[in-house]
């Protein structure tokens, strides 16, 4: 809990309400709606949708960001992606990039019907894997007027190539074969198998230990609905290979002239993904690098998270 970690932050300046709405597949998406206290009933406010890290739930990082941005006058909505947390979807912890992106558009549907929301002033903030899902949604949903990402993971590239392109083609093919073999087993009644996610113990691997420090300690530990402590954050093996077909940065330039903000840490192992997206995107765009910050640092270390930058970005672009 050192270094300013405050994942479970509660604000006395906002009210929080549990909400739910259906996506276009008829699946219930669960969320928390954060509203600044004293908001006038006739107000037409700007809104921000906040997506959690891949494998996490809204109580991990997303609620913190939603609370802090609501303190700045925005109505914010943190949501559980389908198959995770309190949202519907079977099997639990399944990977479906298209449905994840759809959840963000469904959130726009929902917010647009709230009488205190200006449907022309809705933005999105995606943390870690949700950064790539938010971009995927924004490419085909012009109602998302401003797009920000923090510690973004391109979940497609991360699974195809690994960090710093460390995964070989042969290794990728082996992963795909193992998933196919597991499908055969599960179709015949075998138990589900899970993959990746945060490790269950410290191993000395810097990346794994970084995730362990958030997901496996009181700093950020949550056991969401439909999961066990042993499988929290871990997608099903058979569905995880769907990320191999996920290319969120292809055609990212088509988002222009809507603005993009990519926030990453100077020491983040995921920095390559924000830099790649920034390079491909068209103007207006900005890459903001937080000195000394690692990937997970920007989940909850409030002394490092550039909330002022996010406030400036959304105030300027959701006018």
**Residue pointed to by tokens 């609501």:** 70
User: Could you report the per-residue pLDDT of 89-106, keeping only the tens digit for each?
Assistant: 999 999 999 999 999 999
Point out which residues pair with 312 in neighbouring strands. none
Q: Would you say the pTM of this structure is higher than 0.75?
A: yes
SS3 of residue 117 by DSSP: strand
Residue 41: per-residue pLDDT: 80
CATH number, domain containing residue 275: 3.40.50.1820
Residue 36's φ and ψ, nearest 5 degrees, are -60, 135
CB 176 within 8 A of CB 244: yes
235 lies in some domain: no
User: Could you report the per-residue pLDDT of 156-192, keeping only the tens digit for each?
Assistant: 999 999 999 999 999 999 999 999 999 999 999 999 9
171 lies in some domain: no
79 lies in some domain: yes
284 lies in some domain: yes
Nearest CA-CA partner of 83 in 133, 122, 124, 117? 133
Q: How confident is the model at residue 155 (pLDDT cuts 50, 70, 90)?
A: very high
CB 147 within 8 A of CB 255: yes
Report how many domains make up the chain: 1
Residue 34: per-residue pLDDT: 98
Number of H helices, E strands in the chain: 10, 8
Domain that holds residue 297: 14-164+247-317
| DSSP string covering 140-188 | H-TT---EEEES---HHHHHHH-GGG-S-HHHHHHHHHHHHHHHHHHHT
pLDDT at 42 over 90: no
User: Could you report the per-residue pLDDT of 6-29, keeping only the tens digit for each?
Assistant: 999 999 999 999 999 999 999 999
267 lies in some domain: yes
8 lies in some domain: no
263 lies in some domain: yes
169 lies in some domain: no
Beta carbons within 10 angstroms of residue 300's beta carbon = 24
Q: How far apart are CA 66 and CA 31, in angstroms?
A: 11
């Amino acid at each position: 809990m050192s270094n300013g970690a405050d994942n479970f932050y509660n604000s006395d300046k906002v009210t929080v309400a549990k909400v739910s709405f259906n996506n276009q597949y008829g699946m219930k998406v669960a969320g928390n709606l954060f509203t600044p206290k004293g908001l006038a009933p006739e107000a037409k406010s700007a809104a921000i949708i906040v997506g959690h890290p891949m494998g996490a739930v809204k109580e991990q990082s997303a609620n913190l960001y939603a609370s802090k941005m609501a303190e700045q006058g925005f109505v914010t909505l943190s949501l559980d992606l389908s198959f995770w947390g309190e949202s519907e979807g079977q099997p639990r912890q399944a990977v479906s990039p298209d449905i994840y992106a759809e959840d963000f558009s469904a959130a726009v549907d929902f917010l647009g019907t709230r009488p205190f929301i200006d449907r022309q002033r809705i933005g999105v903030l995606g943390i870690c894997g949700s950064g790539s899902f938010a971009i995927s949604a924004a490419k085909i949903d012009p109602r998302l007027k401003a797009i920000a990402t923090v510690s973004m993971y391109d979940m497609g590239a991360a699974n195809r190539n690994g960090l710093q392109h460390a995964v070989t083609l042969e290794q990728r093919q082996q992963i795909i074969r193992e998933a196919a073999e597991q499908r055969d087993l599960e179709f015949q009644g075998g138990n589900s198998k899970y993959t990746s996610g945060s490790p269950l113990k410290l191993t000395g691997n810097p990346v794994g230990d970084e995730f362990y420090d958030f997901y496996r300690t009181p700093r950020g530990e949550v056991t969401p609905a439909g999961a066990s402590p042993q499988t929290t954050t871990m997608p099903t093996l058979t569905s995880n290979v769907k990320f191999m077909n996920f290319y969120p940065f292809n055609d990212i330039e088509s988002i222009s002239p809507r603005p993009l903000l990519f926030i990453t840490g100077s020491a983040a192992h995921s920095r390559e993904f924000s830099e790649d997206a920034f390079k491909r995107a068209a103007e207006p765009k900005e890459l903001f690098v937080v000195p000394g910050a690692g990937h997970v640092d920007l989940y909850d270390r409030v002394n490092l998270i550039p909330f002022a930058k996010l406030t400036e970005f959304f105030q300027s672009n959701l006018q």
